[in-house]
Chains A and B, each alone.
Chain A
Amino acid sequence: EAEVAQSPRYKITEKSQAVAFWCDPISGHATLYWYRQILGQGPELLVQFQDESVVDDSQLPKDRFSAERLKGVDSTLKIQPAELGDSAMYLCASSLRSGTPGAYEQYFGPGTRLTVT
């Protein structure tokens, strides 16, 4: 069964350091999402891509966060510098191209648990 891959699964970093997360969506999924999930809460969208283009990054803290999907396949989310409040689970999801039947169904990877010390 096709799955969304994420790495690393766990990351511990000191504040002010840079950190990066990688995501490989399900093959054929044009839309890719990065979410942040704070313990005890639901996921919150950070950025959405359709192919290599950003569709929505209105909730991405652009002073320290950046995301790219250069070839429209895998994606990287970066935080620089990391702050204590960035400690959370970072989830990647993918779905079929917008407008396609079933495009609303997002499939999630296992996430990266980030701890900033």
Chain B
Amino acid sequence: GQQLNQSPQSMFIQEGEDVSMNCTSSSIFNTWLWYKQDPGEGPVLLIALYKAGELTSNGRLTAQFGITRKDSFLNISASIPSDVGIYFCAGQDYGQNFVFGPGTRLSVLP
């Protein structure tokens, strides 16, 4: 079945630093979504992207829909301790298949 790859798998950063992570697919997607999941909780939707090249912000978060339609990027500026968690990308391909990536685990050091 369809699979998404996320990198990095995990990252440790200092509070205040900017963060970048990405999500790639071997096939074309028409929608990209980014979620954050805290331990023991359900994923929370951060940003939804619908058009190739689209750049969307939500506070300190910025995500982009790659122009190839096979990737997406999430950036977090000026990280704070509450940014800790697992970030999942998810996407819908043209076959209407909706899949999640394996996640990027973010740790923020004070």
Q: Looking at chain A's contact residues, is the secondary structure mostly helix, strand, loop, or mixed?
A: loop
Count contacts on B: residues with CB < 8 A to the other chain. 21
Q: Mark B9-53, 1 if CB is under 8 A from A, else 0.
A: 000000000000000000000010101000011111100101000
Count contacts on A: residues with CB < 8 A to the other chain. 19
Q: Mark A94-116, 1 if CB is under 8 A from B, else 0.
A: 00000000101111111101000
A42 near B102: Cβ-Cβ < 8 Å: yes
Contact of A113 among B40, B45, B100, B103 (CB under 8 A): B40
Binding site for B on A (CB under 8 A): 4, 6, 41-45, 91, 93, 102, 104-111, 113
Question: Which 9 residue pairs spanning A and B have beta carbons closest together?
Answer: A42-B100, A108-B42, A104-B31, A111-B42, A108-B43, A110-B42, A43-B100, A105-B48, A42-B102
